[in-house]
Amino acid sequence: MALKRYTKSIDSTIPLPALLYTDERLFSSQNGVGIYDGQQKSASHQSGTVHVSSHRLFFTDTRDNSFALDLSYVVQTVYYAGLFTSSSKVTLHLASKTLPGTPEPEVWVCHVCGNRNPPGTSPAASRICTLCGVRRESPSTPSTPVPAASDAVACPACTFRNNPSKTTCEICTAELPVPLAPEISLMKLSFRKGGDKAFYSKLKSCLKTKAWEVRLLTVDDPLPSGSGISTWTLYFDMGADDRLKFITDGILQSVATSNQGVETNMKDALQDLEALMLKAKDMVRLAADLNERLTTSTAANPASEPEEATFIRSSLSQLGLQMDNVPVTLDMMQDEREWINQLAKELARVLQTIMKDRGIIALDEVWGGWNRARGVALIPPTTFLQVLPHLPVYTTPTIQKRQLHSGLTVLHTPPYSHAAFSARLVGFLSLNGPQTAVEIAQEEEITVGLAEGMIGAVEADGQVCRDDEACALNGSTVGIVRWWPWTEFDRYNYDGQL
Amino acid sequence: MAFTTHTTPSGFLLPSIHSAPPFFSQQPNKTTLASFTDHWIKLILAYARHRRLFYLHVEDAETSGNDWDEVLKNERINRHVLPVYLEHIMGVMVEKNLAAFEPARQTRSVMLYWRLPEEWAETLHEWATSTGHLNTIMTFYDVTDPPIESPLSSIPVALLRKAIGILTKTNRAQLIAAADGEGVRFFSK
């Protein structure tokens, strides 16, 4: 009965340290302990472990049988050393008075310093702000008296809740279980495996300390209130004004410290950035210098730019370090038309590098190369397509756009225009006999895909005809196409038997 | 590149273009395709006339060992006409009234007009006149399988009927329905 009344069940699967309040400390543990509820053995608590902490007594066994008892209920202890088969016991007399209701474990904000107090402190400690020590003001803990009905004794036969003074049920006259009078509430710990003396002395000292009641007021507080103790003692000696100053000083100091930290980090970062910029400036200057030198040397001997120079130039352009090639962006221009024109100019410069050795190039490669050269303010495909029609104006030899039959769009120099290419192709075929697209691509130094596309265009004109190897007698299905000049058959007259 | 004509074992003179590999490929370009197709039609009709072949099937390009091997294949240059291209050529022939789908409503076999039905009609009437068959009733079999070989020997009945139809229009022949087949009577005029 006492057990039920004063203890709170706990979950023994949680390790004990996790159950402790933040200001609670575990002092001693002893296994092999049985519990007497009043004078009777409590059947379900016969072999467990008891722990004593600064605030509570724990009994852990299985999940359902574990409980915690607030030491504040204990008014008296009696020690019995044991005799023959009787093990030594400690009797705890439990107080009849009920303590003020324990506050809900919740986060609350101090009305003086605004500190957010975390849950998990002991009931007594949670009534005081952990930062400034001011008592929690708002009566968030309901002060409503415990309803009298909670003392009522439920009839085992009809469940009617009878007044505790009754011995028989008012409704059905069944005999009521005799409630243990609060005055005689007691509980015994039976130490079946010894260790009683050490445990008892710890218990006594805990009870004597009364950690649950007094806090922060005694210097010899054994509780783990940490390094703050002396400060707090000082704090309580101060006057009200001094206290306020103390609090604001503390807050201001912490703000100042954090500000200083931020400033130091920022300074470091800025210094790094500055160093980086200096390096970048050097780099750009170097690039400009190189470019200039290359230009002058090329101007002196334009026919043959050394391979190394070409390499350096293309590398620089890939790094976006061409000095005369600062990316044009829309905000530099007054209107969009001017912007497009400037972009066309810029693209023309880029193409000088990209199309140095090539007369024809696929559009995707141009777009990628241009944006890589720009590095910043990348050009979207739509703008790119807008720029292309303006390109012939700014390029010598003119670079034009052309769409092949396959749908592939390319940029090309005049030698790769349709007319020039077909004339060249027919000449090549007439001279060298039928050729495959691969052979033609090799001859023209273009990719096979491009060659196929361009031959397709010539075929559409009827300038060449195909000999598909799929027509071979041995029935190979993979047709390699050989291209024949149509001139072979152009003026053919039927010369067979009619 | 110069190509030469070639005489086949059957004594047919193949045109020089038959030795050019592109001739066997179906050209995607309309102009070149039309040019090659024209030469193919000439070649096919000439060969049909040479061998008295009346029918051409797409299958002739798929299989070997048939009447058309000498034309649809050229082993000297390792090329042959693909069935798809042959079907296209046949389609063009029908368009130009140089052949007719036989049977009708399909495109995989044609009856070749190496002589037009009108020419056949004249040949038929001349033959009937010269052999003294005017005003007598003859069965189709009498015409297609005469005891003495004639220009009309082994002519397909479908073609024969077409030729008789043309003669009927000018009242030079009459189609007669008999109990076990059909007959024809020719008139002088």
Task: Report d(CA B9, CA B50) in Å as an integer.
Answer: 12
Which has more confidence, A113 or A99?
Answer: A113
Distance, in angstroms, between A465 CA and closest chain B CA? Answer: 7
Residue range B127-146: mean pLDDT, rounded: 88
Most confidently predicted of A119-133, A173-187, A347-361, B42-56: B42-56
Q: Any chain B CB within 8 A of the CB of A484? A: yes
- Asked if B22 lies within 8 A of A497 by C-beta distance, the reply is no
Query: What pLDDT, on the 0 to 100 scale, is given for residue A306?
Result: 61
Query: What pLDDT, on the 0 to 100 scale, is given for residue A220?
Result: 45
Q: Nearest chain A Cα to B37, which residue?
A: A494
**Cis peptide preceding B103, ω within 30 of 0:** yes
**ipTM associated with this complex:** 0.85
Domains and CATH numbers, chain B: 6-112 (1.10.10.570), 117-186 (1.10.10.10)
Residue range A181-191: mean pLDDT, rounded: 73
Pairing label, strands A7-9, B99-101:
unpaired
| Token pair belonging to A21 | 């309040």
Query: What is the SS3 assignment for A492?
Result: coil
pLDDT in tens, A395-410: 888 888 888 877 888 8
Facing residue for B31 by CB, picked from A462, A472, A492: A462
Which string of DSSP letters, residue by residue, matches A216-272?
Answer: SS-TT--S--TTHHHHHHHHHHS-HHHHHHHHHHHHHHHHHHHHHHHHHHHHHHHHH
Query: What pLDDT, on the 0 to 100 scale, is given for residue A485?
Result: 92
Q: What is chain A's mean pLDDT, rounded?
A: 78
Cβ atoms of A364 and A371 closer than 8 Å:
no
Of A21-30, A182-191, A280-289, A487-496, minimum mean pLDDT range = A182-191
pLDDT in tens, B25-39: 999 999 999 999 999
Query: What pLDDT, on the 0 to 100 scale, is given for residue A107?
Result: 78
- Asked if B82 lies within 8 A of A460 by C-beta distance, the reply is no
Query: What pLDDT, on the 0 to 100 scale, is given for residue A236?
Result: 56
Number of separate helices (H) and strands (E) present in chain B: 7, 10
Residue with tokens 């009839």: A155
pLDDT band for position A181 (cuts 50, 70, 90): low
Q: Any chain B CB within 8 A of the CB of A84? A: no
Task: Report d(CA A462, CA B13) in Å as an integer.
Answer: 29
CA B164 vs CA A119, B124, B140, B167, B175: distances in Å: 116, 8, 10, 5, 7
pLDDT in tens, A301-332: 655 556 666 666 666 666 655 445 456 666 66
Q: Where are the alpha helices (DSSP H) in B52-156?
A: 59-62, 69-72, 83-95, 117-130, 140-144
Sign of torsion, CA A65 A69 A73 A76?
Answer: positive
Query: What pLDDT, on the 0 to 100 scale, is given for residue A321?
Result: 53
- Asked if B42 lies within 8 A of A498 by C-beta distance, the reply is yes
Distance, in angstroms, between A361 CA and closest chain B CA? Answer: 26
Q: Any chain B CB within 8 A of the CB of A150? A: no
Q: What is chain B's mean pLDDT, rounded?
A: 89
Task: Report d(CA A374, CA A364) in Å as an integer.
Answer: 15
CA B102 vs CA A423, B16, B95, B159, B183: distances in Å: 46, 31, 14, 10, 22
Query: What pLDDT, on the 0 to 100 scale, is given for residue A216?
Result: 45
Query: What pLDDT, on the 0 to 100 scale, is given for residue A340?
Result: 86
Task: Report d(CA A297, CA A459) in Å as an integer.
Answer: 45
pLDDT in tens, A220-279: 444 444 444 445 555 555 566 677 777 788 888 888 889 999 999 999 999 988 888 888
- Name residues 33-92 of chain B within 8 A of A (Cβ): 35-36, 39, 42-43, 46-47, 50, 73, 75, 78-82
Q: Cβ contacts (< 8 Å) between A498 and chain B: which residues?
A: 42, 46
Pairing label, strands A40-41, A48-53:
unpaired
Tell me: pLDDT of A448 over 70. yes
Residue with tokens 């190369």: A369
Task: Report d(CA A445, CA B188) in Å as an integer.
Answer: 76
Residue with tokens 């390319």: A410
Q: Any chain B CB within 8 A of the CB of A433? A: yes
Distance, in angstroms, between A412 CA and closest chain B CA? Answer: 25
Query: What pLDDT, on the 0 to 100 scale, is given for residue B35?
Result: 93
Q: Any chain B CB within 8 A of the CB of A468? A: yes
Facing residue for A496 by CB, picked from B36, B46, B82: B46
Facing residue for B29 by CB, picked from A459, A471, A473: A459
Facing residue for A473 by CB, picked from B14, B15, B78: B78
pLDDT in tens, B87-136: 999 999 999 999 999 888 898 999 999 999 999 999 999 999 998 888 88
Of A210-224, A331-345, B88-102, minimum mean pLDDT range = A210-224
B31 CB-near residues (< 8 Å, 6+ apart): A462
Query: What pLDDT, on the 0 to 100 scale, is given for residue A132?
Result: 81
| Token pair belonging to A283 | 């780099």
Interface test with A, best of B12, B16, B32, B47 (most A CBs within 10 A): B32
Task: Report d(CA A469, CA A472) in Å as an integer.
Answer: 5
Task: Report d(CA A51, CA A58) in Å as an integer.
Answer: 5
- Asked if B27 lies within 8 A of A465 by C-beta distance, the reply is yes
**Cis peptide preceding A397, ω within 30 of 0:** yes
Tell me: pLDDT of A215 over 70. no
A345 CB-near residues (< 8 Å, 6+ apart): A328, A394
Q: Cβ contacts (< 8 Å) between B21 and chain A: which residues?
A: 434, 467, 471, 482, 484
Q: Cβ contacts (< 8 Å) between B81 and chain A: which residues?
A: 471
| Token pair belonging to A116 | 């957010």
Q: Nearest chain B Cα to A491, which residue?
A: B35
- Name residues 36-75 of chain A within 8 A of B (Cβ): none
Query: What pLDDT, on the 0 to 100 scale, is given for residue B94?
Result: 94
Query: What is the SS3 assignment for B25?
Result: coil
Query: What pLDDT, on the 0 to 100 scale, is given for residue B109?
Result: 92
The number of C-beta contacts closer than 8 angstroms across A and B is: 90
N-term to C-term CA, chain B: 56
Facing residue for A467 by CB, picked from B21, B29, B75: B21
Query: What pLDDT, on the 0 to 100 scale, is given for residue A222?
Result: 47
pLDDT in tens, A19-60: 888 778 888 888 888 888 888 888 888 888 888 888 888 888
Query: What pLDDT, on the 0 to 100 scale, is given for residue A64?
Result: 76
N-term to C-term CA, chain A: 128
pLDDT band for position A149 (cuts 50, 70, 90): very low
Task: Report d(CA A27, CA A285) in Å as an integer.
Answer: 73
Cβ atoms of A441 and A447 closer than 8 Å:
yes
